[in-house]
Amino acid sequence: MKTHHTPLKIVFATNDSGFADRLISRMESWYDDVTCYRLDDPEAVNADVAACWYPPQDLLQTCPNLKLLQAVSAGVDHIPASLMQAGLPVCRVVDEGQKQGMLEYVLWGVLHYQRDFDKALAQQADKVWKLHPQRRAGKMRIGVMGMGQLGCFIAEGLAKFGYPVAGWSRSEKRVDQVSCLWGEEDLPEFLSRCDLLVNLLPLTPATDGILNQSLFQQLPQGAVVMNCGRGEHLNEADVITALESGHLRGAVLDVFPQEPLDTNNPLWSTAGVVVTPHMASAASGKAILGQLVDNGRHILEGKPLLHPVDTAKGY
């Protein structure tokens, strides 16, 4: 995968040195005309592009020649607001493989409750043999909250499996076989349709803590919540209360404000909670580095950027 184009200088601006080292190692083996810097390299001052994963707030002081901030993820909420509003273009990663992986994870969660695997596992622990009536896909209403590229892909994919799917977003969206609602005025109606709610919203000041008691009470009795967005979307105390009261049947949680999840966190032992270690899906190294290099070339050559972010909205 050696290339011969405009020389490009990239600084890997991340709080995870091991992650940076892995990406740099791949980059250096795939591209012979890209120069890579770690943040502590004095030569990073010459970087054209920053590959960002929790970059420092003073990044532009360290690297004053940056022309582009490229997230190495689908979301950009890990980039500080001061950098988002610094006037530089910001882009993110879009990976078809990541979309498929997320659909598979969500489908597993849907099947877990549609086919009563949660009940079967609880019965196994007590050595109880009990058969439950089979629930058809058409009787399991799914709601997808957050209809960006990923959310639309998930909603459309679930609809193809025969589930009645509703989608909710801040602005109007149209997806085949999906009942799309939008805006605050449509949120109560959307929630009332969700036997299982999948959260894929971006994290913004408006969505921080949105999975809370008020929202849970608008879901049908016995509903399930899946959080595949960000840990900060969820009020942990509220979901525990909703589960213990019996209003929620279950919660599948893949993301948390602090990861790894602390061993003393009550979510580990709350009945009805399924904890997974931020494994729902991930962009491939090929997609991350390929889009990083492509956008780096584009910014230097004055070409349109791939997957730019609206820095005012944060997604």
Q: Is 95 left (phi over 0), alpha (psi -120 to 50) or beta?
A: beta
- Confirm whether 307 is domain-assigned: no
110 and 248 in a common domain:
yes
Provide the CATH number for the domain around residue 60: 3.40.50.720
Same domain, 242 and 159: yes
Count: domains in the chain: 2
78 Cα distance to chain centroid: 11
Is there a catalytic annotation at residue 297? no
pLDDT range class, residue 7, cuts 50, 70, 90: confident
Judge whether 230 counts as a catalytic residue. Answer: yes
The catalytic residue among 230, 233, 249, 297 is 230
- One domain, residues 53 and 118: no
Cα 24 to chain center, whole Å? 24
Residue 1 lies in a domain: no
Phi, psi of 122 (to 5 degrees): -65, -40
Claim to verify: residue 30 and residue 53 sit in the same structural domain:
yes
| pLDDT for position 4 | 53
pLDDT digits (tens, 9 = 90+) for 10-48: 999 999 999 999 999 999 999 999 999 999 999 999 999
Residue whose C-alpha is closest to residue 155's, from 114, 119, 200, 120: 200
Could you tell me if residue 155 is inside a domain?
yes
Kindly state whether residue 102 falls inside one of the protein's structural domains: yes
Q: What per-residue confidence (pLDDT) applies to 3?
A: 45
- The tokens for 183 are 């805006």
Q: Check residue 84 and give its pLDDT.
A: 96
Q: Which of 78, 115, 278, 307 is catalytic?
A: 278
58 and 177 fall within a common domain: no
Q: What is the DSSP letter of 15?
A: S
Q: Computed from CA positions of residues 163, 197, 145, 89, in that sequence, does the dihedral angle turn out positive or negative? A: negative
Tell me how crowded residue 154 is: count the other CB atoms within 10 A of its CB.
27
Closest CA to 107 of 44, 161, 52, 53: 161
Do 146 and 218 have their domain in common?
yes
* Host domain of residue 233: 96-275
Contacts of 237 (CB under 8 A, 6+ apart): none
